[in-house]
Amino acid sequence: MTSQPPSPVKDKNYNLISVLQASLEYAWQMETYIADAEREGDSELAAWFRQIQENNTKAGEQGKQLLAARLRKG
């Protein structure tokens, strides 16, 4: 497994934006996985993917609130 190079930006807001983006992208990606599981008739797996999607969506919403508050502060 290769490691990622260190971030060029050492900033808490950069980290927040990175995690926010990843959470929302992963929530969106779950749509494909849910559809695949349902197409294969695996409702248990589809339910698990939905749970992951819900958790990532919640984290994304929390991240958006945190980012908005920090941007208002300046």
Assign 25 a pLDDT band (cuts: 50, 70, 90): very high
- Domain that residue 64 falls in: 23-73
pLDDT tens digits along 51-70: 999 999 999 999 999 999 99
Distance (Å) of CA 21 to CA 25, 46, 49: 6, 23, 18
How many structural domains is the chain composed of? 1
Separation CA 28–CA 36 (nearest Å) = 14
Separation CA 45–CA 55 (nearest Å) = 15
Q: Is the pTM here over 0.85, yes or no?
A: no
Residue 67 counted as domain residue: yes
Q: What is the mean pLDDT of the chain?
A: 91
